[in-house]
Amino acid sequence: MRIITGSARGAKLKTPKGMDTRPTADRVKESLFNILGGRVAGCQVLDIFAGTGNLGLEALSRGAAAAVFIDRATADLIKENAAHTHLSAQADVRRGDVFAGLSRLAADGKQFDLVFCDPPYHKGLWERALAFLDASPLLTARAIVVIEHGVDENDIPPLQSLSLRRNQAYGRTTQLSIFQKGFEEAQP
């Protein structure tokens, strides 16, 4: 696994041993960032269930202003990867429960333009996180939320402010769903 482009292009990221963390494959990440295009530059990024920090670090490498990473088990690994890619100054790495972390960020008045959510599959975590984000003040007016989930996990919770913009399977196991706040209003 590596940073694809930007200031840290080619830097290899460390991954944890074992199967508890499932990093986003390079081809899926490349496709995602092609979809996002220039919208990453200058963004405030939130990477939850961050694992290796792969997605948030790629965003920073591509010009995002700052990123907050939350993961219960891999905070030290994310810090190592941020240091290795020379992106530590823009990376705020937090260890702990994602939902408690989201509540703290909301209480602190933080807002994000781009959110990556890549939890373990088949545990109901992405649905819970999406519903939390939809109802919280954490998202800017045109925020984008990217969810990586299993291809057989398609029960989107009821949403008030986010709309599904894109849903695409990659192979037989991975699917990306991209939601945007204010997306319906922006359509011609």
pLDDT digits (tens, 9 = 90+) for 114-158: 999 999 999 999 999 999 999 999 999 999 999 999 999 988 999
pLDDT score of 28: 87
Global model pTM greater than 0.85: yes
**For range 80-101, the mean pLDDT:** 98
* Backbone φ and ψ of 144, nearest 5°: -115, 135
